[in-house]
Amino acid sequence: MYLARKYLKTGIHYYIRESYFDGNRIKSRDICHIGTHPEQFVIYPDDGVAFYFDPGLIEAIEKAGAHPETEVLEKIFWPFLQPETRRVIDLFSRPAPGRRQSLASQKKRCETASFHMFDQRRMHYLRFGQLDMRGIGRTPKKMYRKLLDKSRDEIEQQFMEMEKVLEKREKKNYVYAAFNVAGHFESEISRMFPQALDQETVDGSFLEELCRINEDASFWGDVGVSGGLNEYLLRYVFWFFDTEFEGSVYLEDLMWQFTRRHHGFRRPRRQNAMPVGEALSVMGITGADLSQMSVKSLTKKYRERAHRCHPDKGGNHEQFIRLNRAFRNLVKKVGKKP
């Protein structure tokens, strides 16, 4: 069983659902609706850390044909338990008997299981934070064991929870990587500096991949394909069009990997600092221009210059690196304006 969230006009509604096998297919079903305040079903009899679940809730779950163990309900209601109660549970928790054998079995099954590439790319980014997905085939498949024996609905609910670690500045990068937008471009730049690409082409490529996933019946399984955009994809549209690409640190990452392989070297300091005057000159604007700019207009100016000077357009590699440094320094100043 698992906790499912549904976003409605009246707020977030919570459901207890379960995945189950129906022949060779894994489906999901509602066990019960627990409203907008699930914490109401957790009762603390003496105002301490001890608690029990509302007998009416247990009765409703059993009436639906489910018989969960206390540990399962604790996992479902974990976000709604009091902080001190969670601390005490963590303190006294012990691995269930046979858990180690179960994990070993799951890892073994992962080696022969088939996982959708959209799921793999999402898991890969959430684990490593990399835009470049070309090395995804070398990732140990045991990383995807959380996807085993779950319906599409449970998997999507799981991703919604995992994606909470993303900061706003990371979300467009995440969507770009998850939908493999870089695969529409031959340039290496697409896997390092997507902000330097023609953004209309980037937008079109994202929408093409979005539609491909939305219409993939084999991906959606028991959720099914509807005539409109699946509700589980809506957040990705918002993240892609309402946020900007995060500045790339691709070259710094390469240097760090190099120094780790060669003892005796120390990681150099990231040389992000650039005098304001130099940054303005590189961007082709004046201080007066900058004072009138928003982040959006500065980004537009950056894209215009990046499109002309990046190496694939015959530009100079060093100039392109300096342009990225200048943009990163100036965008911080714009972002601090009231």
Which pLDDT does position 240 carry in this prediction?
94
Dihedral sign for Cα atoms in the order 319, 320, 321, 322:
positive
Q: Which helix (H) or strand (E) holds 53?
A: strand 52-53
Which pLDDT does position 253 carry in this prediction?
52
Query: How many C-beta neighbours within 10 Å does residue 327 have?
Result: 24
List the structure tokens of 332. Answer: 């911080």
Instruction: Give pLDDT tens digits for 328-337.
Output: 888 877 765 5
The tokens 């022949």 sit on which residue?
23
What fold does the segment set 271-335 form as a domain? Helix Hairpins (1.10.287)
Q: Which of 92, 224, 223 is nearest to 154 (CA)?
A: 223
Q: Which helix (H) or strand (E) holds 172?
A: helix 171-178
DSSP reduced 3-state for 134: coil
Which pLDDT does position 89 carry in this prediction?
83
Q: Which residues of the chain have pLDDT under 50?
A: 249-252, 254-256, 263-265, 267-270, 338
Which pLDDT does position 267 carry in this prediction?
47
d(CA 316, CA 220): 45
Interhelix angle 317-335/276-283, nearest 10 degrees = 120
119 within 8 A of 146, measured Cβ to Cβ: no
Instruction: Give pLDDT tens digits for 74-129.
Output: 999 999 999 999 888 887 766 555 555 577 788 888 888 899 999 999 999 999 98
DSSP label at 187? S
Burial of 279 per CB tally in 10 Å (0-12, 13-18, 19+): buried
Beta bridge partners, 53, equal 42
Dihedral sign for Cα atoms in the order 62, 74, 120, 209:
positive
Which pLDDT does position 4 carry in this prediction?
95
Query: Domain coordinates of the chain in residue numbers?
Result: 2-94, 101-242, 271-335
Which pLDDT does position 16 carry in this prediction?
95
Helix, strand, coil fractions of the chain, as percent rounded to 5: 60, 10, 30
Residues, the chain: 338
Beta bridge partners, 21, equal 26
List the structure tokens of 306. Answer: 């990046």
324 within 8 A of 248, measured Cβ to Cβ: yes
d(CA 213, CA 231): 12
Which pLDDT does position 322 carry in this prediction?
83
The tokens 């979005």 sit on which residue?
210
Query: How many C-beta neighbours within 10 Å does residue 305 have?
Result: 20
List the structure tokens of 202. Answer: 């980037």
